[in-house]
Amino acid sequence: MNVTTDADKTSDAGTTYITTAAGGTLSGDATGNYTLSYEKGAFEVKKAALTVTADNGSMIYGDDVPGDIGYTVTGWKNDQTGALLTGVSVGTNATKTSNAGTSYITTASGGTLSGAAMGNYTLSYEKGAFEVKKATLTVTADNGSMIYGDAVPTIGYSVSGWRNGQDDALLTGVNVATNASSISNVGSTYSTFAAGGELSGAALGNYMLDYVDGSFAVTPRALTVTASDASKAYGDTASLTGFTTTGLVNGDSVSAVSEKSLGADAEADAGSYDIVAGGATGTGLSNYVISYDKGTLTVNKALLTVTANNGSMIYGDALPTIGYAVSGWKNGQNGSLLSGVVVKTDATSSSDVGTGYSTAASGGALSGAALGNYDISYVAGSMRVQRRAITVAANAAAKTYGDLGPLSYTVGGMGLANGDSLSGELESAGVSGLADVGSYAITQGSVTDAANGNYAISYEGNTLAVTPRAVTVTANDAEKQVGTMAGAFTWFVSAGKLVNGDELSGTLASAGAPADAPVGVYAITAGSLTDAQNPNYAITFVPGELEVLSIPAPAVAGSLPLPGAQFGPDAFTGPVGPMVFFGLRNPGSPLIVADESLVSFTLCGTGAQTLIVCR
């Protein structure tokens, strides 16, 4: 016998299918003795299980949560695919501010089946893992340089990669060093190295530190080799060997300099000739940029030297008049025989502070007995632009606790020049909205000489006053029955507001709070909820009222009903007998007993009473 069903592999889920029996052959004693009839059976196609599994995911601390977390689906039948399932959402319990770790999950939900899959599957969901990975903080050593022979400078660093509004205040202890020293040879093969650093606060555990080296160069030092002046009489041979040096360090030396002049030969005509220096030899000279100053070889004529005076000026001022000095006069002659010398400088009123400027004399006409008897040579002078003296006076400032405090200053002294404005900002610990009430020094901060190279700043400090924030606290009214303790009094901020997540400290008080307070109305006072307990706030307190209520009057004139829990039908047990009172709170005010009963101590302090016995 065969049994079949009208359902097949592709049939939709449901109970509308049947089973059908057919055929069959009888044997033995049953042969010929039976007729076969067939009854259909029921057949159910049950829904297949589809499992939607959220993909594992990850993100870097501080990044936006990825919106493209996927999922996988297992359990498809009949060659059906994910195209028949739409609308599945996958999320995670991690957020942009979640700390680094692997304790997070991905969760799939929703989904709509369509086409041949509709009604043929049940959906179940499996969670995935989600990791918040540490973000990378890159600590980059600043590039640096120094002049050969100078002390190694302080080298800074920069940090990139902060997340969630965090900043450098959460990283301390970074050290930056270089493999160059004051005796290192000139070159750019040196490096700066950042190392160390401790994360704190919200950054702790959420970052990996990555260090990037910087470059460091030792630059040549300026070395000036000056040929010494020389003189000879016409027909003599000059021996030119003298020189001076400026700028040698670290024990380096110039041992010899090659010098030559067209006037050195015996045949040279009378006049003035340059002495040209070059080809210096010695130790350590590869670390210098060597410049050579000429000397003068004078034949026959005396040498009259006009030297431009050294000069100085304050940054921003007009150029001063610069004089000169003359040396080499002979035979009692003097400067009255020389006129028309002009001294100029390469500095201007807008030149930056420094000593890299010079003065130069030029021109001049000899007269009288000096005419034709002298050669005039000129020696440059130095010119220094000095810092402009100013005062920076911090302006007194005030702010309310919880607010931000701007700082300002007034510039005095010689004032700013050339349309300048100062770089940097004043600083104060009181600027923060979290600063407690008090007086904070306003410090110079970054408004320094280092940040404003053309000025000599004299700083005058001041203070930033953080004043209490005004709030009004209003007590809520309360009531209680005589003989009971009052509960905790409550209040609300009726004007102003608390900031920085603060909560006020202290509890309200009332003379009516104790259990023995008589019936009446009592003020609810500030108690310990005071400015002293809450120094960041100026509290205006609005009192409330505590009403101490008497126990309601009894139904019988002159009697006093007592609480049912004490005097109801179920409150008394045991035989009735004479009442004896012990430990009464106020024995001077006895109860008047109309019948035998139990008595609550609650009323003993309120005077003579009539007791209603409930039986």
Domains of the chain, residue spans: 2-45, 54-71+79-133, 135-219, 220-300, 388-467, 469-549, 553-615
Query: H or E segment at 5?
Result: strand 2-5
**Least confident span in 237-251, 511-525, 548-562:** 548-562
Q: Quick one: fold of 220-300?
A: Ribosomal Protein L9; domain 2 (3.10.430)
- Rounded Cα distance, 303 and 378, in Å: 10
Count CB atoms within 10 A of the CB of residue 207. 25
Phi, psi of 581 (to 5 degrees): -110, 130
Count CB atoms within 10 A of the CB of residue 233. 10
Q: What is the pLDDT averaged over residues 478-485?
A: 94
- Rounded Cα distance, 236 and 607, in Å: 141
At 279-331, the pLDDT tens digits run 999 999 999 999 999 999 987 877 889 999 999 999 999 999 999 999 988 78
pLDDT at position 581: 36
Residue whose structure tokens are 């997540």: 501
- Rounded Cα distance, 357 and 559, in Å: 112
The one-letter code for the residue type at 515 is A
pTM: 0.41
Give the tokens for residue 478: 């309360």
Instruction: List Cα–Cα distances, 10 to 16, 21, 77, 154, 257, in angstroms.
Output: 14, 22, 8, 79, 105
Q: What is the pLDDT averaged over residues 522-547?
A: 96
At 136-182, the pLDDT tens digits run 999 999 999 999 999 999 999 999 999 999 999 999 999 999 999 99
Number of H helices, E strands in the chain: 1, 44
583 pLDDT more than 50: no
Residue whose structure tokens are 């920076």: 392
Q: Quick one: fold of 135-219?
A: Immunoglobulin-like (2.60.40)
pLDDT at position 558: 45
Which residues are paired to 225 by β-bridges? 245, 292
Domains 220-300 and 469-549 share a fold: yes
- Rounded Cα distance, 292 and 277, in Å: 6
Which contacts qualify for 446-454: CB closer than 8 Å, 24 or more apart?
447/392, 447/409, 447/422, 447/423, 448/424, 449/387, 451/422, 451/423, 451/424, 452/422, 452/423, 452/424, 453/352, 453/353, 453/387, 454/315, 454/316, 454/352, 454/353, 454/385, 454/387, 454/388, 454/417, 454/420
Q: What is the pLDDT averaged over residues 234-249?
A: 88
Q: What is the pLDDT averaged over residues 242-254?
A: 96
* CB 537 within 8 Å of CB 469: yes
Query: How many Å separate Cα 321 from the centre of its chain?
Result: 52
Phi, psi of 331 (to 5 degrees): 55, 40
* CB 405 within 8 Å of CB 394: no
pLDDT at position 284: 95
pLDDT at position 570: 41
* CB 42 within 8 Å of CB 26: no
Phi, psi of 116 (to 5 degrees): -65, -15
Which of the following CATH numbers is that of domain 388-467: 3.40.50, 3.10.430, 3.20.16, 3.30.300?
Answer: 3.10.430
Reference 425, options 401, 405, 398; nearest CA is 405
Reference 157, options 137, 173, 141, 177; nearest CA is 141
Q: What is the pLDDT averaged over residues 81-94?
A: 95
Q: Does domain 469-549 have CATH number 3.10.430?
A: yes
Which residues are paired to 187 by β-bridges? 218
Reference 92, options 117, 111, 65; nearest CA is 65
How many residues are given for the chain? 615
- Rounded Cα distance, 359 and 537, in Å: 65
- Rounded Cα distance, 593 and 158, in Å: 90
